[in-house]
Structure formats: structure tokens, C-alpha cells
Amino acid sequence: MNVIIFNMPWYLRLLRGIEISLYAIFFAGLLGGSSLMVSTKPSEAARRYTRSVEFDYVSWTLEAFAVKLDQAVLGTPYYFPEISRHQIVVDYLHLMDAILSDENKINLMFSDPKISNPPVASQPLQAQLNGLEGQQRQLSPLAEAVLQDQISATLADLGLTTGGQPLPPVLFHISPLPYDLIISPRDKIQQDAAISLVPDLSVDQQNNLETQVDSGLNVSSLVVPVGGIGSYPTMVMRTTALDWLSDTIAHEWTHNWLSLRPLGLNYDTTPELRTMNETTASISGNEISVLVLKKYYPELALEYNIQNVSLPLNQPKANFNFNNEMHVTRVHVDELLAQGNVTEAEAYMEQRRQFFFDNGYAIRKLNQAYFAFYGAYADVPGGAAGEDPVGPAVRALRAKSASLTDFLKTISKMDSFQQLQAAVSPGG
């Protein structure tokens, strides 16, 4: 069933707008600390270096909220029949593909030594890009509203609703996302801080910031891209892949849903609980995305394959198993750090980074902070999580659960890794 009804009367649309306003205010207060910046001493120390480039969540949220409020009050996409709603999303993806292609062409022109005057040479392409971006500003709110409704209906089919509606309502906005500065100790892999930075940091700026933080605090740091952020509305990165897009929307909604329950409320309490949260959201996002594509976009279900977009790919060599090799790397790094061999572990990670590059995976920096960040996403075996037992335990709980809904309701009540271990132990 559809949660939002076509031809919704004006007074119901107004009530919908008021409802969205109340949820936005509530989640702004609830999520403002834990989801957007880990509040620890390392983060406060690091902010000496990051204050000038930190992301402004207040401005972004106000802008996104205004878009959502207008859409809720007008109810424009809900007047369209299902076939038109389908086409809105497909057209949006094609438009985004054209925009990303033109942006890439312009960037190449500015880096091509054979082009003496890039600003002049790129003017025709820039004019074309400006036109495409104007179309996007008109189409994007419609596409977002359609996807919100389709994912809401899928959640209703799964029984993940209260009174027939997901709580909180599915609400997201596509935009360039901030980077995260991840900080880990050098002698162990552990995320001590995550600070959101502006989305237009150049690679040189990222490297310089990491160097300053590393030398000033004697830590391991890394600026990483993120695909989504569990603010409210949630943030989602621009993409042309519908499976990845729907996966990320559902992933971030799951974080919002968990934040009303013990597991989400304890996101930052321990590293194990952070991994439980992220792995749960990854499993949920993946399964919900599959259902959305099968129901609303069956012709695209086989066209796209979900990939880890956080990893920049060059041309991976055949028969090279990235997940297995990264698992081997993490396990050996953990062994070296446990022995106190920090310098040796860092030298080994650099050797492995070059090894990954030679096999087609252009990882800019491989260090403790890299594993602290990517190791928390343990919805598939192996990879950056190494031998961390948390991911396998979450997957084991999903395997023994009768449905995704049962799994989410069970794990959402937990506030310690010990509870999860007990649940998946024999007889648990």
C-alpha cells in the first residue's frame, strides 16, 4: 500500500507539512551530536585544525527542510500516475549522468596542459552544464518525493510502520556530501573522532589537514568520502545508480529508526556498538533496496550492481579479490599493533596500499583511521573488518531471524555487544 495518497486534500498536505516540521525539529536535537560528530577529547583537539573547513549542518538542514516542506504542502508528485512517477526517477538518473559527465569533462580541461586557457575553452560546456543544473533543480524534488513514497510503501509492506507510516517518515535530500575526518590512535584501530568537513576540499587540502593533525596530535587521521549521513532530512550523495541510491536512503532511514531505540541511542558508546549500528543499517538498506527495485523498477534490477562506492576504482585486475586481500591486510596490521610494532605496521600498510594500486584500486592512504572507518561496515564477510567478531555476529542474527523486521526489532533493543553474543550463541 502507498503511505501517501494521490490527490491528497490541501488540509492533509498542510498537516503533513506540520508533521515534517515537528520531526525535523525533534531529530535535529536528537541527532545533532552523535550522528554528525563524535564528541570526544580527540575531536575537540582536532578542531584546532578543522574549524575553518567544518561543514555547516544548520544551513544545509534549513535549506533541505525548506525543499521538503514545500513538497509536502504542494504534494505535486502525488498527482502523477505510477508510470509517470517511475519516469520521473529514470529521467532524474539520466540527467544526473549528463551533469556528472560534463563536470568531469570540465575538470579534465582544467588539468590538460595542452589547453592554454581552460576558462575560455570550457565556456560552451559550462553553459550546457548550467542548463542541465537548472533542469535538475526542478526535477530533483519530484524524484526525491517519489522515492520517499516508494521506500515508505516498501517499509509498510515489511511491517516497519506505526499506524501505517514509517516513524520517522522517510525524508532525504540529494546533495554534495561533506567529507569526514576520521581519527584513530596509532597503536590500535579505533575511531576516536569523526568531524564533518566541507564537500569541496581539494586532495591537497585533505593531505595537508591530515599531516597537521597527525603530527600535532600523534594520531592516525584520514579524510574520507561518505555516501550518506543520518541527519534529518538525511543526506544522500549524487549518483546515477538507482540500486545504490535506494540502498543509501534506506540505510540512513534505518539509522533514524534505530536512534529512537537503545541500539541507536548508544551508537557512540563503544566501538562494538558503532559496528553493530552500521552493519545493521547496511543489511537493512541492501534488503530494502532489492525490494524497491523489484517492485517499482524491475527493468533496472538486473542493470545495476551494488558496489562499495567509497573505494575509488581504476581498472581492477582479473582474479584479484579485493575483499580477501583487505582482510589479510587488516589481520596482519592488528597482529603487529598488538605486539607494539606501530612503525612496522604503518610501513606494511603503505606497502599494501601500493599493492592495491598495482591491482587497480587507487586507495589514497591506508592507515589505522582507514580501518577504523571502513571496518565498521561489516555486512559482508572479510574486508576491512578483519577478524572483528561483531560483524559476523550481526550477520548470524540476521540469518537466524525469520524476517528483516524481526531482525531489526530484535537487535534494536540491544545496548551491548554481549547481548548480541548471547542472542547468537547456541540456545540463545
Rounded-to-integer distance, Cα 290 and Cα 243, Å: 7
Residue 11 is predicted with a pLDDT of 41
Q: Which of 364, 389, 363 lies closest to 375, judged by CA?
A: 389
Side-chain half-sphere exposure of 240, counting CA atoms within 13 A: 10
Q: Sign of the C-alpha dihedral, residues 203, 205, 209, 215?
A: positive
CA distances from 365 to 207, 311, 358, 426 (A): 9, 11, 14, 41
Let me know: does 352 contact 330? Beta carbons within 8 Å. no
Let me know: does 140 contact 92? Beta carbons within 8 Å. yes
Cα separation of the two ends of the chain: 35
Let me know: does 178 contact 226? Beta carbons within 8 Å. yes
Residue 229 is predicted with a pLDDT of 86
Rounded-to-integer distance, Cα 219 and Cα 184, Å: 6
**In which element (H, E) is residue 17 found?**
helix 10-31
Residues 6+ apart with CB under 8 A from 250: 151, 284, 285, 288, 289, 292
Rounded-to-integer distance, Cα 303 and Cα 90, Å: 13
Let me know: does 324 contact 331? Beta carbons within 8 Å. no
**In which element (H, E) is residue 150 found?**
helix 123-158
CA 82 to chain CA centroid, nearest Å: 28
Residue 27 is predicted with a pLDDT of 59
Rounded-to-integer distance, Cα 110 and Cα 201, Å: 17
Instruction: Return the C-alpha cell found at 364.
Output: 589514497
Rounded-to-integer distance, Cα 327 and Cα 329, Å: 5
Residue 306 is predicted with a pLDDT of 36
Looking at this protein, which amino acid is placed at residue 215? S
pLDDT tens, residue order, the chain (428 aa): 333 333 444 444 445 555 555 566 555 555 443 334 444 567 788 899 999 999 998 888 888 877 777 766 555 556 677 888 899 999 999 999 999 888 888 877 876 778 888 888 889 999 999 999 999 888 888 899 899 999 999 999 999 988 878 888 898 989 888 999 999 999 999 999 999 999 988 888 998 999 999 999 999 999 998 888 888 888 898 888 999 999 999 999 999 999 999 999 999 899 999 999 999 999 999 999 999 999 999 887 554 443 333 344 455 567 889 999 999 999 999 999 999 999 999 999 999 999 998 888 888 899 999 999 999 888 888 788 888 899 999 999 999 999 999 999 999 999 999 999 999 998 76
Rounded-to-integer distance, Cα 385 and Cα 105, Å: 36
pTM: 0.81
Rounded-to-integer distance, Cα 374 and Cα 368, Å: 10
**144 class by beta-carbon count within 10 Å (0-12 exposed, 13-18 middle, 19+ buried):** buried
Rounded-to-integer distance, Cα 415 and Cα 266, Å: 6
Let me know: does 181 contact 223? Beta carbons within 8 Å. yes
